[in-house]
Structure 1
């Protein structure tokens, strides 16, 4: 039974979640790839088909769609609103970098400013005869290294005041353009590398509109996540202990802890104050050669490795052992509860040592770690 909120479960680990991610975010990221491809794959047959179906010569757009035409492309374009909620504007996400100017649309691509020039200079765009022209058609005379020259193709020779002002602004902007030998390329603005990736965009979506909590559970890749989840849930008091079950109106005949048979069973009691657990922790302290463990709550146990004046790897090993200890105590609790077993500290300690050794040896890539050194905790410096 899992009572952890789903939003908490799918949250990134840096936000205190399991890092599973959302299927919705994954789907949005994969659909956004088609925005990237539409911008960058100008010669693709699929793009030409989309253009032929959705292009409207009376309503130009850099990402075009006809609302009256149903189909998957209409659904792909509709994802923009979902991205805007995460402060990601797909209309401004792709910027072209000019080299020879043969693959970049002068008016329809984002290359000179954050917005395409047809949006920045709408009056001039109305006068343009060849609205799908590329940068090389308008800038330069075709021979690289020659003096700066602009080649216009207007539908009229007389400009009004607004058009003249826009033309002067455009000429001023184009003054910094210098065509050169090379292939034009595109950059994805939401990644430092400039390359689009579904995983990178998904990470942005998962982290959007989240506040980092003051305390974040620390995961340890030397221990399987299914093991560390016991400690993760216990810190939030989300394990199905007897007190937790009773709080949710689930009938429980006896709330007492079966490991000590003295106090009510909550996560804090089971892992911290229970006499059975205290014996386990003191044996762990003796084995790991650290001072006796004095803990007042679950957080004290999870922070135990941070207070040790040892090497970084040794701290990580102690942290892994702590997580495995939570798992071992919980397994013993379940065995006593559901299989009528008897509480056995020796069995729990042996299981903790054996399983922690197996996981740490293989996951830390310390192939030379021997069982004897592990039992004496003479490892990792």
Structure 2
């Protein structure tokens, strides 16, 4: 992979999901991974994502717990190795019960038997009009397992079975359609282990938009969580800095000010709104912008350009801010406006070097 792809956060995330998380998959499908080994691998992935490389000096802007959440919950969907290991091993338990005539199962039964553990053999019998369950435990119940036995009996007697119903093994998990899958088992394990606080729903569809470059989508995700290193966030991390906005030079720099309320950023917002002939009230926070920028009233033909315009506008503001802070280079507002339209054209059409006529038609189609 090219160096610039690896250096971007989007490229690193792709490598983690496709390579680093997949390397131990075969081992975990047949063995129990040590928790210490899993934690070490996850630490390497976390360091790699934020560009640490073992030398230090890079902030880990988002916790690993947050990263391992699904995109719908505000994470990146990276797998927890310990839970994924359990899901992979659970596949063998399911196959052991389901594939009773397979050679591998008969070998296991012949060598180890099936009388160990706490397996339950249950049979429904009829006594007149009353159906009862003949539950036979293969070992004595311990005192601390009585509650589980009561729950089991309650579950069995709550079942409503018809006269002609045949017994079948069904995987009771949402979106699995009765068939066991490793992904559905992993999702159930994650939901069981994670506790989510608050009632705020993460707007993942407003962050992960098709057509957006991975590095830009990763940046928008980080900004939506309030974790990018603006001066106010650096001060919270212990840096002694003068808090001022390098774009307007008037007030303190925060995420909401930099991307929305700054006079330079406001000019760019007004350009986008004017092109699409929209009436727009400046919101108070970036989260509200992502929540409201759905593109429902701009028409189907211009919706893609409208949605992508928000992503590149945020990215353009961040690039200009960093150029001024680290390189001392400040571009004019006219240059930024031209850059905004040119890159938006390339994102929507897929063309890198547009000719003048095609670019003019593109802008006219946005206005119309």
Q: Determine if the TM-score, normalized by the shorter chain, exceeds 0.5.
A: yes
How far is 1:330 from its partner? 0.6
2:65 maps to what in 1?
7
Indicate the RMSD between aligned Cα atoms, in angstroms: 3.8
Asked if 1:239 is matched to 2:233, the reply is no
How far is 1:229 from its partner? 3.1
SS in 2 for 1:2: coil
Unaligned runs of 5+ in 2: 1-58, 126-131, 140-155, 351-357
Cα separation, partners in 2 of 1:175 and 1:311, compared to 1, 3 Å: closer
1:216 maps to what in 2?
202
CA contact (8 A) 2:87 2:182 kept: yes
1:282 maps to what in 2?
270
Instruction: Out of 333-342 and 224-233, give the one that drifted further.
Output: 224-233
CA contact (8 A) 1:287 1:377 kept: no
| Counterpart-to-counterpart distance in 1, 2:301 and 2:168 | 44
Partner of residue 107 from structure 2, selected from 49, 58, 63 = 49
CA contact (8 A) 1:286 1:292 kept: no
CA contact (8 A) 1:223 1:360 kept: no
2:338 maps to what in 1?
350
| Counterpart-to-counterpart distance in 2, 1:336 and 1:269 | 16
| Counterpart-to-counterpart distance in 2, 1:288 and 1:268 | 23
2:246 maps to what in 1?
258
SS in 1 for 2:177: coil
| Counterpart-to-counterpart distance in 1, 2:253 and 2:189 | 39
Greater share of residues in helix: 2
| Counterpart-to-counterpart distance in 1, 2:224 and 2:232 | 15
How far is 1:22 from its partner? 2.8
SS in 1 for 2:293: helix
CA contact (8 A) 2:230 2:253 kept: yes
Cα separation, partners in 2 of 1:185 and 1:244, compared to 1, 3 Å: same
Q: Cα deviation per residue 1:249-292 (whole Å; 9 max; x = unaligned)? A: 0233x322211222222111111111111111111112222125
TM-score normalised to structure 1 length = 0.60
Cα separation, partners in 2 of 1:210 and 1:357, compared to 1, 3 Å: farther
| Counterpart-to-counterpart distance in 2, 1:177 and 1:314 | 57
Asked if 1:16 is matched to 2:74, the reply is yes
Partner of residue 248 from structure 1, selected from 237, 240, 261 = 237
1:190 maps to what in 2?
173
1:376 maps to what in 2?
364
SS in 2 for 1:187: coil
Instruction: Out of 23-32 and 210-219, give the one that drifted further.
Output: 210-219
1:36 maps to what in 2?
94
Unaligned runs of 5+ in 1: 64-106, 113-118, 127-168, 363-369
TM-score normalised to structure 2 length = 0.62
1:206 maps to what in 2?
190
Cα separation, partners in 2 of 1:344 and 1:260, compared to 1, 3 Å: same
2:163 maps to what in 1?
176
Instruction: Out of 289-298 and 235-244, give the one that drifted further.
Output: 289-298
Q: Cα deviation per residue 1:139-196 (whole Å; 9 max; x = unaligned)? A: xxxxxxxxxxxxxxxxxxxxxxxxxxxxxx99xx9993577xxxx9643222552222
CA contact (8 A) 2:246 2:325 kept: yes
SS in 2 for 1:8: helix
Cα separation, partners in 2 of 1:174 and 1:283, compared to 1, 3 Å: closer
| Counterpart-to-counterpart distance in 2, 1:18 and 1:313 | 30
SS in 2 for 1:53: helix
Partner of residue 310 from structure 1, selected from 288, 298, 309 = 298
CA contact (8 A) 2:248 2:262 kept: yes
Cα separation, partners in 2 of 1:378 and 1:263, compared to 1, 3 Å: closer
How far is 1:326 from its partner? 0.7
| Counterpart-to-counterpart distance in 2, 1:60 and 1:27 | 21
SS in 2 for 1:303: helix
| Counterpart-to-counterpart distance in 1, 2:265 and 2:80 | 36
How far is 1:341 from its partner? 1.2
Find the structure with the greater CA-based Rg. Answer: 1
